Structure 1
């Protein structure tokens, strides 16, 4: 952390972990100074690469895109909760959410599960990142009642893969539907959350992708 700011983002690199079925990520050289007089990298990735934010259109048929939210609304007052230690595929219920989320000034709950420990630059080396803890539908409903989004240091606030865990959510994305369906933010694949204060400012500006259903962000915590 430097001058009150902490980077909570994973680097975008070739072979990095993606959600199963999403495009692979590659960062390659397209031009070099010795050969071309300048340096350019070619980046190929999906809209939900690395540390990223979801738009409602990610899971909601009539949901809005990232550009529908004014840019200032990507600055969030965050309420932090460390729920470590967590075991593989451990469900997180509403009782483990932080107090004070009904405060109208709180925009998002940031949960530390510790699962960023299993992030691997080359995802073929480690599939344990897929076995992350996840929120129960009741926790998502509690967040929705409090008008709060969620940010996690794992691949997904729902289980991955996404089995039908709720008969009312046959596609297995109850947290996404509860929050994105109410235009509340979801941020995934944060890192370096240990020791954050109970309340801080979270910057998560998305890349301005046309009709973006999601986009990588440089997630930064500002703490005093």
Structure 2
């Protein structure tokens, strides 16, 4: 069995979306002075490797704390679209499904490997990244997948204000996991995917510890 961590480390200097404040991790107690160590965590719900709930973009919609935990785990498959890194038009369409259709049909989570996780920590991570074509979005919805994951800051273009892709997917109660990493290590076969969000009241999104298990 092989367990692969798909989660970026949370730190004070990590990349964050547009005008979000960076996390503030402050040690408030230490073993030498207090007999124990403790850290105050100040972090936006959509910083780092995180999950989006329907409430993220839809008023009065479902929150992560109200979803059954079974929605955060299941069979996953990586869809390799790294060839788009240097492409003029960076669109992930239904043709990427056809390359591994049998496994994609069985999977509950579709994980898109754009290769951009290698750009984490530099400005290129936010620039000119691939987005999902409508025909692929319709496939995900019609096949009732539990969720999609991607190694990008957002599944919509960075300048989008109305987040149309988020809206279309989340209104179907399909979760979105963004800022994944280490996707090259998962191979082309089905694996067990777990992305368990921090459970807090009325959560519109939350950091996750995402892992893949290859048996």
TM-score normalised by structure 1 residue count: 0.86
Equivalent of residue 209 in structure 1, options 200, 204, 207:
200
- How is 1:55-66 mapped onto 2 (pairs within 5 angstroms)? 55-66=53-64
Aligned pair 1:115/2:125, yes or no? Answer: no
Q: Distance in 2 between matches of 1:9 and 1:119?
A: 12
Aligned partner of 1:189 in structure 2 is 179
Q: Which runs of 5+ in 1 are unaligned?
A: 121-125, 164-170
Q: Distance in 2 between matches of 1:62 and 1:210?
A: 14
Which sits farther off after the overlay, 9-18 or 131-140?
131-140
Which sits farther off after the overlay, 192-201 or 210-219?
192-201
Q: For 1:64-113, what per-residue CA distance to the aligned partner results, in whole angstroms no more than 9, with x for missing partners? A: 0002211122112112211113326722122223524773x532101111
- How is 1:68-79 mapped onto 2 (pairs within 5 angstroms)? 68-79=66-77
TM-score normalised by structure 2 residue count: 0.89
- How is 1:1-224 mapped onto 2 (pairs within 5 angstroms)? 3-87=1-85, 90-97=90-97, 98-100=100-102, 103=105, 105-120=106-121, 126-131=122-127, 132-148=129-145, 149-162=147-160, 171=162, 173-197=163-187, 198-224=189-215
SS in 2 for 1:183: coil
| Contact 1:102 1:147 survives alignment (8 Å) | no
| Contact 2:65 2:199 survives alignment (8 Å) | yes
Q: Distance in 2 between matches of 1:8 and 1:102?
A: 19
SS in 2 for 1:117: helix
Which sits farther off after the overlay, 35-44 or 82-91?
82-91
Aligned length: 208
| Contact 1:101 1:109 survives alignment (8 Å) | no
In the TM superposition, residue 50 of structure 1 has moved relative to its aligned partner by 0.7
| Contact 1:157 1:175 survives alignment (8 Å) | yes
Q: For 1:172-196, what per-residue CA distance to the aligned partner results, in whole angstroms no more than 9, with x for missing partners? A: x222112101001110000001041
In the TM superposition, residue 63 of structure 1 has moved relative to its aligned partner by 1.4
Which sits farther off after the overlay, 14-23 or 52-61?
14-23
Displaced runs of 4+ in structure 1, greater than 6 A?
Answer: none
Which sits farther off after the overlay, 129-138 or 143-152?
129-138
Distance 1:15 1:151, change over 3 A: same
| Contact 1:137 1:174 survives alignment (8 Å) | no
In the TM superposition, residue 29 of structure 1 has moved relative to its aligned partner by 1.4
Name the Cα RMSD after superposition. Answer: 1.8
| Contact 1:130 1:161 survives alignment (8 Å) | no
